[in-house]
Structure 1
Amino acid sequence: MILKQLVVSFGLIFFTVAVFGQSCDCRAGFDWMKKTFEQNDAGFQYIIDKKGKGAYDYHNLQIQEKVAKAKTYEECRQVMREWLNFFRRFHLSISLGDSVQRISDALQEAELQKAFRQVAPELIKQHEKIQWDDTYWNTYLKNIKEPGFEGLWFFSPFYKVAIVKKGTNYVGYILEGPKEAPLQKGAVKLKIYPVGNGYKSTIYGGNLKQYDSAAVKWLNDRFMQVGNFYFQKLDPLYPDSPEKAKYDHFLRSRTPLLERLSAHTVYLRLPGFNISQKRAIDSLLKANDPVIRSVPNLIVDVRDNGGGADDSYAELMKYLYTNPMREMAVETYATPLNNQRLLEYARDTNFSEQRRKSFLKEYEDLEQAVGKFVLLNKSSVSISHRDTVYPFPQRVAMIINGATGSSAEQLLVDAKQSLKVKLFGTSTLGSLDMSNMTEAASPGNEFVLTYATTKSLRLPGFMVDASGIQPDYFIDESIPGIGWIPFVQQTLEGN
């Protein structure tokens, strides 16, 4: 056993040394990704036809120059991502394989340490700092009475910063940080100052680089965003109001939940549609069926729901139904690589036995049509009819935002056809036209490509990816997130 561990350890060491000792072969990785995407992605030819081959050729020329300059795996991944952006924003990605990701992280850490060592001593000496007194700070901390900038913050991934008020400005001093960093305890890490109706900032990087005029966005009383950086409040923290506690409970739940808000309104939170959630969603709806069908208003909250499988929300549709619903089919691009996805679904016991049998039949059909788009359900439009229209709920409000995507958007496309349903919130993500994702790993597992295997027949008449699905009732920034549910409830109840 010990010998086996030693062999494994030496193997890992050899791999690590090999990666550190040579630059990434970005040309080989890029060529693999480009070929795999061109041959398998369902949306590739659609975009070429739309934008023109000339635009694509020009894009390739620009990217080839960047491929030649990319030396590390992360640099190469960034160039690959830029190439993919030509086709669409979402439902495609390129990531590093697990082992390479670990090495890439180590390389970035080494580069950071190198940057630390290269900072001139005189710059460190000149940098603004104070002689920090822990006793003074602890007393100061206890005297902070209101939520705001003042307090102890965690600045990912290295620092704890104490922010204090200085006149009309705020200054953040380092309490803890990397031992190797040029800026140590007492050094100024952050400044926040009022500008107009908001705040701007200055942040000093680990190499003392100064980032000026980064906007400060107050996310809530425990998080703020400064430019591209995020700060988490550690102290002082104040007890949440009952309303805030309920809001956090709803939005942070990773499983479906249902609550009766009043005699007239039921709230249903659906955070995701991964097929593993289907049983929980079905059980929740079944257990609360008498309640749902006894009140006039139903709120369905799909904010931050990134999708999953359409099957997951199937049982919800009976509460929304008022008239036959039309759904445009998708075409599946049949390739040996894409077809394997159906075999994986056929083995997934989260799907019903009947559904798994249908996946196996679809796989067999696709294998007979490699290189072609296949209409698996044989009809370009399916029309769902139900025998029953429930009198209650009478009104259904679906809460959406910019992180509602994929299968959650398909739910909205279907639900909008009901006379009961209105959408509240902001535009959705826009990740539906090309769908049914699958993955492919490069020959050496350095990179993992995610792409789409189906294309919607809604195109080009009804595009979702371009701008998302629009709400019927737009909720603007004057209504904070904590107020969305009350706003929707009041609208439904006529208050």
Structure 2
Amino acid sequence: MLFFITTGADQQPGCGCAQDFSFTVQYLERNLPGFAHTVPPTRRRQYAAFKQQLGRAVAAQPSRLACLKYLTTYVEYFRDSHTSISTAGPTVPEDDRAAVARFLASPDFTVSGTLRVDSSRRNAAASDPLEGYYQAADGTYRVYLTRSKTSRRDYAGVIVAARTRLWRPGQIKFELRRNPDATYQAYQYQRNHSVYYVPVVRFAQGRLLGLGWHKQTPNQPAPPPAGPTADFRMLAGTEVAYLRLPSFAGEQWAQLDSLYRAVAPRILRSKYLIIDVRDNPGGADRNVTPLLPFFYARPIKETQAEEYYVTADNLRRYEEYLRRLQADSARYGSDAVWSFRQKLTWLKQVPLNSFVLNPQSTQKTYTLTASLLPLKVAVLYNRGCASACETLLFWARQPSKAVLVGENSAGFVGYGNSLPVTTPCQGFVLNVSTLRFKNQLAYEETGVAPHIRLRDNEDWLAQTLRILQSP
């Protein structure tokens, strides 16, 4: 756990960090599926002391950013990867000059941290391998990552150039702090300067895995990261089909359904297939299911056992989510709306403050007709593969045509169905899981290990090709 020492306040008396901390504590104690697991009777004294220590810190009503970090420390105590807290920010249409001007004059922009990095330091060869110039995956930002030791960070990524009017050179785009295991934790600031926490970032092959930055060096440029958009192609000079899926988000159902229908005939005529889900944060399992025919060899059992934690607050969040589905049914699909409405009706009949097992989640077996092709399928993934992306891994590692290659996944598998609520004073977005998968708790944070672990000193796609084409 991390504790941050800061001073200053930016809220009116009576509504600030202390009140948001109290709200967060009470909300998680009432509604978090993993609370009793994390705080059994034997740990209640330690938990109480932990709360008191944070309570003393937030009583001084620290700045909004410092407050977020205190609350993150509390939320991370539960080791539930689906539960998090972050700032919200406005959507700024950048073709609207007046909207941009209002944003640049607002606290969202004016309180952003800045750091001056001397040009001679930037131009000199860095002794620290982490230091240097980095570019975002989509090319929007270029930063210089420099050592910057404070009570809450070891490095700062400082904007050098940005293809957006919402960021200026000298502003801090992300901060890194070393973990004991040679990884890093990070706070990264979004396009609208809202901030979120990333517990594990790894530096490998010139990339900050988990943040989406790759290092730029003149003599040894880093390989480009996996693409940010869905993509299908035949790899040149091979019999290998390549399917890139960066997300399984529920609202992308129509887009993914169209893609799957379009590429399935070509995949089923290909000798090999690579399904690239690196940095796929998950979404909806129903967007994963259409991949089953590509690697299916024998019946695949659903291994998840969904246990919903039924509370008054969780039911309210589900009602809000249903309204969102209904308002955007074209993207989510009418089946998703119907299914969720049925689930909510069923959950409302369950006694409050209890767990209930979804019987359908333990009875599914996918029985298909195995196709002749592809002969072998590689599922390529990294630490950024999370949640529904890991559902794909659990299915593919059952006896099938698939081989899992890469590194351990994110470990967002013990809890799920995260839904948001807003804190009353600072307006932080508290995303809280609403169900647990008891049979998958052992993989939470640890992730799903690959059959073949890829090396960081060589391009992962090239290694995957060799694995597929080897006898």
Same fold (TM over 0.5): yes
How far apart are residue 24 of structure 1 and its match? 6.3
Q: Name 1:486's counterpart in structure 2.
A: 462
RMSD over aligned Cα atoms: 3.9
What is the rounded CA distance, in whole Å, between the counterparts of 2:421 and 2:344 in structure 1?
18
Equivalent positions of 1:294-305 (< 5 A) are 294-305=269-280
Q: Of the two structures, which has the highest relative contact order with CA contacts closer than 8 Å and spacing of 6 or more? A: 2
Cα gap change, 1:34 to 1:236, in 2 (>3 Å):
same
Q: Name 2:179's counterpart in structure 1.
A: none
Q: Note if contact 2:158-2:170 (Cα within 8 Å) is conserved in structure 1.
A: no
Q: Note if contact 1:24-1:72 (Cα within 8 Å) is conserved in structure 2.
A: no
How far apart are residue 315 of structure 1 and its match? 1.0
**TM-score normalised by structure 1 residue count:** 0.66
Q: Note if contact 2:20-2:425 (Cα within 8 Å) is conserved in structure 1.
A: no
Structure 2 residue 450 is matched with structure 1 residue 446: no
How far apart are residue 469 of structure 1 and its match? 0.7
Cα gap change, 1:236 to 1:151, in 2 (>3 Å):
farther
| Runs of at least 5 residues in structure 2 that lack an aligned partner in the other structure | 1-8, 91-102, 124-130, 136-141, 145-156, 162-167, 172-202
Cα gap change, 1:394 to 1:78, in 2 (>3 Å):
same
Cα gap change, 1:445 to 1:380, in 2 (>3 Å):
same
Q: How many residues align?
A: 378
How far apart are residue 66 of structure 1 and its match? 2.1
Q: Note if contact 1:26-1:71 (Cα within 8 Å) is conserved in structure 2.
A: yes
Q: Name 1:281's counterpart in structure 2.
A: 256
What is the rounded CA distance, in whole Å, between the counterparts of 1:77 and 1:58 in structure 2?
20
User: Is the radius of gyration larger for structure 1 or structure 2?
Assistant: 1
Q: Name 1:187's counterpart in structure 2.
A: none
Cα gap change, 1:477 to 1:276, in 2 (>3 Å):
same
How far apart are residue 62 of structure 1 and its match? 2.5
Question: Once the two structures are superposed, what CA deviation does each residue of 1:198-239 show, in whole Å capped at 9, x if it has no partner?
Answer: xxxxxxxxxxxxxxxxxxx7865xx899xx9x8976x9899x
Q: Note if contact 1:307-1:406 (Cα within 8 Å) is conserved in structure 2.
A: yes
What is the rounded CA distance, in whole Å, between the counterparts of 1:486 and 1:72 in structure 2?
48
Equivalent positions of 1:160-199 (< 5 A) are none
Aligned counterpart in structure 2 of residue 372 of structure 1, from 334, 343, 354:
354
What is the rounded CA distance, in whole Å, between the counterparts of 1:386 and 1:58 in structure 2?
52
Aligned counterpart in structure 2 of residue 458 of structure 1, from 430, 439, 447:
439
Q: Note if contact 1:23-1:71 (Cα within 8 Å) is conserved in structure 2.
A: no
What is the rounded CA distance, in whole Å, between the counterparts of 1:331 and 1:29 in structure 2?
29
Q: Name 1:314's counterpart in structure 2.
A: 289
How far apart are residue 360 of structure 1 and its match? 0.9
Q: Name 2:107's counterpart in structure 1.
A: 103
How far apart are residue 279 of structure 1 and its match? 2.5
Q: Name 2:413's counterpart in structure 1.
A: 432
How far apart are residue 103 of structure 1 and its match? 2.8
What is the rounded CA distance, in whole Å, between the counterparts of 1:25 and 1:325 in structure 2?
51
How far apart are residue 21 of structure 1 and its match? 6.5
Q: Note if contact 1:23-1:72 (Cα within 8 Å) is conserved in structure 2.
A: no
Aligned counterpart in structure 2 of residue 405 of structure 1, from 386, 389, 392:
386
Equivalent positions of 1:87-166 (< 5 A) are 87-88=78-79, 90-98=81-89, 103=107, 105-108=109-112, 154-155=143-144, 157=158, 159=160
Q: Note if contact 1:151-1:236 (Cα within 8 Å) is conserved in structure 2.
A: no
Q: Name 1:141's counterpart in structure 2.
A: none
How far apart are residue 417 of structure 1 and its match? 0.8
Does 74-83 or 47-56 show the bigger shift? 47-56
Q: Note if contact 2:82-2:412 (Cα within 8 Å) is conserved in structure 1.
A: yes
SS in 2 for 1:402: coil
What is the rounded CA distance, in whole Å, between the counterparts of 2:204 and 2:276 in structure 1?
23
SS in 2 for 1:254: coil
How far apart are residue 150 of structure 1 and its match? 10
What is the rounded CA distance, in whole Å, between the counterparts of 2:251 and 2:364 in structure 1?
27
Structure 2 residue 4 is matched with structure 1 residue 25: no
Question: Once the two structures are superposed, what CA deviation does each residue of 1:296-336 show, in whole Å capped at 9, x if it has no partner?
Answer: 21111100101111111221111121222222221111223
How far apart are residue 374 of structure 1 and its match? 2.2
Q: Name 2:341's counterpart in structure 1.
A: 360
Question: Once the two structures are superposed, what CA deviation does each residue of 1:366-397 show, in whole Å capped at 9, x if it has no partner?
Answer: 22222222223x24622323241112112111
Q: Note if contact 2:254-2:332 (Cα within 8 Å) is conserved in structure 1.
A: no
Amino acid at match of 1:34: V
Identity of aligned residues (%): 23
Amino acid at match of 1:37: L
**TM-score normalised by structure 2 residue count:** 0.69
Amino acid at match of 1:471: P
What is the rounded CA distance, in whole Å, between the counterparts of 1:316 and 1:129 in structure 2?
52
Cα gap change, 1:341 to 1:29, in 2 (>3 Å):
closer
How far apart are residue 418 of structure 1 and its match? 3.2
What is the rounded CA distance, in whole Å, between the counterparts of 1:294 and 1:35 in structure 2?
55
Q: Note if contact 1:258-1:284 (Cα within 8 Å) is conserved in structure 2.
A: no
Cα gap change, 1:252 to 1:31, in 2 (>3 Å):
same
Q: Name 1:474's counterpart in structure 2.
A: 453
